[in-house]
Chains A and B, each alone.
Chain A
């Protein structure tokens, strides 16, 4: 893995992109979640405000009934019904206390005491009368009336008791902190969020002076005046869970998507660029190692004409030219430029190789050919015709040579031909055929006439005439000399040994 990253350009590129990209992804997701959170909070606050309004209306209805003492039990009942609402609390503004205190002071205690007094007298009278009544229906009616009267007396005593003392404010109803005091002052709903708990403090204000169906009566408070507030605690644990869950899943999703796109980029880059560059590199390495046949093969569909294609085509052209030049150089080094035959150096190397691999029981013959009166041709017709003559003779020799034969330009107008697996008589026949073919092949003298050339050929066979390559060449050379001496335009086989050369000379003309 490390090697893959460290040594591949594509991997390095992808790593660099990832390092730049991923922080952006994380930041983008974070921003998205913040925005979502804000939207959700706005929604929660909107609904929270409505819920507060509902509580406010309910509170109003209770206040109108004068059931202030019932409020806490009412809201506790309400709270138990609302799982999302952690607590509901009424906050009393200072104005409310003024109003309630006035109501308390206005309560007519002496009159209430008089009522109690009268009722007790009435109760006593009924009690006395009851003793004399015998009719059961009448007795039941009277007992019912006495019970009612009794409960009224008890209720009146309660009222007198509670209204004769200063108004008691439940400590829970006092504003607790700066936020609640601010709501009472500004009449603006406030929200705070602390972890999983959202706190809403909504003002309870007088909508209009007088009475209305929805808000009841406020004769003592002015329109818009804040009487109190309602505090609601909502659990937003679910919201937070949702937000955090979304944060996590979004993050994972985005990162996975990013990694997937990076992988895709990696694959595409690798396919299109890096893989081809690597192949090209391999081909170059083969080329520099000496394999001039190294080429880069592009699949046909890749040939779209982009930079890689031009690079590959350039490389292939270069390799092709290099290979061509190399083979030209090689040819120049081993062949004679005029005749296209092997040069003497190349012949020596090839002949030595032939001798080294030559099997002793197999014959090997050598022909040494020389153009007759070549100097005269040069002198009379010019060197161009001389060159033409050499080319013509070389062509004839090549036409008649076998695949395994070595044909070389040995000297100025000398041609040497090594014939493997060929005995002296067969070689003699071949030489004769060459001589005849050359003699009958016309040569343009570049002046409008036709020339006919002749050659002299010496033939020697291994191991009949020599026991090594040098001696064989010498033997063939000697035979050629004999052919020249005996009048040219003939083929002569070497004698059995160099010592008997002269006596053993046989010419084809003699035969």
Chain B
């Protein structure tokens, strides 16, 4: 009786092919938004997709900010005038320059951080975690205690309130190796309070 099934029906082959294709598509769709390159570690970056699931409005604000576009600036032809002033070559591609990537991507060379545009598309640019700290630990608190978050607990888990702490910003803005020194142009001088007032680099607050 079984020989009929085993011998004559290749339906399962056809169906397996369907399944494989469907799963391949599903995998592509999932990979676009769910990179899994992050090494397993308590202190690790998770990428902006994880934050954006809930903080949709903040994510939308950030997406329009210059922080989100920071990686774009490394590409040849972008911001020619400032690059020339800082003695950089405007036609050169700086997207694989390690010194630049440290401040133009999220968590470069750190656990769960930027690897490449293809592998970690949601660690491109200066994402949520560059200001608020690597999210792996505190994201769990966000998920499990929705609506009743304890600030001290979050800080203990590595979350930073960057708008109240300029030291987070100056780590890049006044980095000793950056070619864009205040001596070059006074616009490179960093004053957090002033910046919060007049630029569109930040997302809406929760107040």
Contacts and interface: CB of A to CB of B under 8 A. Distances in A.
Given A84-B14, A211-B50, A62 B19 contact: no
A242 B30 contact: no
Contacts of B109: none
Nearest to A247: B4
A152 B84 contact: no
B9 A242 contact: yes
A84 B14 CA distance: 7
A443 interface: no
A118 B65 CA distance: 13
A123 B80 CA distance: 20
Contact of A238 (B14, B26, B81, B204): B14
Given A137-B80, A141-B81, A51 B9 contact: no
B174 interface: no
Interface in A51-76: 51, 54-55, 57-58, 61-62, 64-66, 74
B37 interface: no
Contacts, number: 126
A48 B4 contact: no
Interface string B28-56: 01101110100000000000001001101
Interface residues of B, number: 46
A51 B5 contact: no
A65 B33 contact: yes
Interface string A130-161: 00000101101100100010001000000000
B162 interface: no
A351 to B, nearest CB: 90
A61 B54 contact: no
Interface in B8-26: 8-12, 14-19, 21-23, 25-26
B86 interface: no
A43 B4 contact: no
Interface stretch (A173-181, A213-221, A312-320, A360-368): A213-221
Interface of B: 1-2, 4-5, 8-12, 14-19, 21-23, 25-26, 29-30, 32-34, 36, 50, 53-54, 56-57, 64, 69, 77-82, 84, 90, 143-144, 146, 200, 204
Interface of A: 32-33, 35-36, 39-40, 43-44, 47-48, 50-51, 54-55, 57-58, 61-62, 64-66, 74, 78, 81-82, 84-85, 108, 111, 115, 118, 135, 137-138, 140-141, 144, 148, 152, 210-211, 213-214, 216-217, 219, 234, 236, 238-239, 242-243, 245-246, 250
10 contacts: A51-B18, A54-B26, A57-B23, A58-B22, A61-B34, A65-B33, A137-B80, A148-B69, A211-B53, A242-B8
Q: What 6 A-B pairs have minimum CB-CB distances, sorted nearest first? A: A137-B80, A58-B26, A47-B15, A54-B22, A61-B29, A138-B81
Given A141-B80, A234-B15, 5 more contacts: A47-B18, A47-B19, A57-B30, A58-B30, A65-B32
